[in-house]
Amino acid sequence: MQLTVGNIYINDLQFGPRTEVKGKTLFVNKEELTELLLQDEHLQSVTIEIAHPGDSIRIMPVKDVIEPRVKPDQEGGIFPGLVSKMFTAGVGRTHVLKGVSVVTTGKIVGYQEGIIDMQGPGAELTPFSQLHNLVLVAEPVPGITPHQHEAALRKMGLRAANYLGEAARSLTPDETCTYELLPLHEYHSRYPDLPKIAYVYMLQSQGLLHDTYYYGVDVKNIVPTFMHPTEVMDGAIVSGNCVSACDKNTTYHHLNNPVIHDLLRRHGRDLCFVGCVITNENVTLLDKQRSSDLTAKLVAYLGVDGVIISEEGFGNPDTDLIMNCTKIEQKGIKTVLITDEYAGQDGTSQSLADGSPLADAIVSAGNANALITLPPMEKVIGSIDPVEVIAGGFKGNRHPDGSITVELQAIIGATNELGFNKLTAREY
């Protein structure tokens, strides 16, 4: 089996009478898309706007970012088990509209979500400032529950991405990449001299709207599971999180997970990438012990020499990260951890909430507590009102000239723990 991904590069995004790609421009029929999204009875209104790289625009509070994709050889879109029919992802053919995204904002559940600046110093800290963004500003109907509200916004973004993805169905990609999918024993026999590597993919699942979905299932309800790496490229993993913006894995992050893409790029050359073990991040000690025990057992069963482990979030999930690391290392398998740090605004506090002598190979995605002042923008899509109460904000951080001071954790993707960012740290 194999997956072929065809990339179609988009250089501009505009409204038009039809949703289609002409040249390198994606045109969107705003009225048709609005009508589609308002079929959800939980949404009272949806406003659609466009933000281009370099625009004097601030988007906040951002819930999710999604990249449009389509399976050209089958009906329906991607995101199986959520807004598309159920299918096994990661095989066949997938077309991707590169350079554009769907961003969801407006009135959201809670105010831990963050900021995308399309220009200035904040733009340098988020990858989404480099995209042509179709921004959906949603207003829910009165009286719905927080969980209904979250689900409506999540599905709104996925439906919009599926809608845009249809424009790529019959196009000829600018480039293609094909990935092989082998039975486990064939990886070992075909690459006997290469180190066998697996990826332990920790997914946020602490509940209270700190959720991630795997084929439509809330991952706090699953046990560690083996997954082909290409499944994420077809939307098998979707964000449902209302968490700190800096290290939140949006659906865009999952679709373009750089750990998976880098391992696949090196597969068959200097390593053999056998696949992913997805596991959750729990709240209770018993659940943490169970998941880490089963993760270590599954990794050992794969017969690998080393694993990369990434987490999502901080504090409580640090314990899951260290438990996974310790138990896998105790089985004689080397680990490398990817995390970010909450070391205080001056960088002198304890970076992680847990630790182990066996966690001796760690990649840092930066200190989320570092401060930055963001200049005023000519336009805000969404609302500036939550800026004092979002994670990374604080009372008095709005200045008379319209600028704001926040910690990096207020910026979407600033210290992303998949390494999808520009920050790191080094030891002196």
Report d(CA 18, CA 146) in Å as an integer. Answer: 35
Q: For residue 360, what are the CA distances in angstroms to 71, 75, 325?
A: 42, 47, 10
Which positions ≥6 away from 176 have C-beta within 8 Å? 4, 5, 6, 7
Per the rule left: phi > 0, alpha: psi between -120 and 50, beta: everything else, 116 is beta
What would the two tokens of residue 373 be?
A: 């002042």
Half-sphere exposure of 156 (CA within 13 A, CB side): 34
Which residues have C-beta within 8 Å of that of residue 128, sequence separation ≥ 6? 65, 101, 103, 116, 252, 412, 413
Q: What DSSP letter does each residue of 16-59 carry, written as one string?
A: -SS-EEETTEEEE-HHHHHHHHTTSTTEEEEEEEEE-TT-SEEE
Cis peptide before 61 (omega within 30 of 0): yes
Encode 177-212: b = buried (16+ Cβ within 10 Å), e = exposed. Answer: eebebbeeeebbeebeebebbbbbbbbbbbeebbbb
* Residue type (1 letter), 422: K
C-alpha 374/C-alpha 426 separation (Å) is 25
One-letter amino acid for residue 35 of the chain = E
Residues in the chain: 428
Give first-to-last CA distance, the chain, whole Å. 47
Q: Which residues contact 229 (CB under 8 A, 6 or more apart)?
A: 90, 179, 199, 260, 263, 264, 273, 275, 276
At 377, phi and psi to the nearest 5? -115, 155
List residues with catalytic annotation: 242
Which residues, in sequence order, are CB contacts of 319 under 8 Å at separation 6+? 288, 353, 354
Name the residue type at position 427. Answer: E
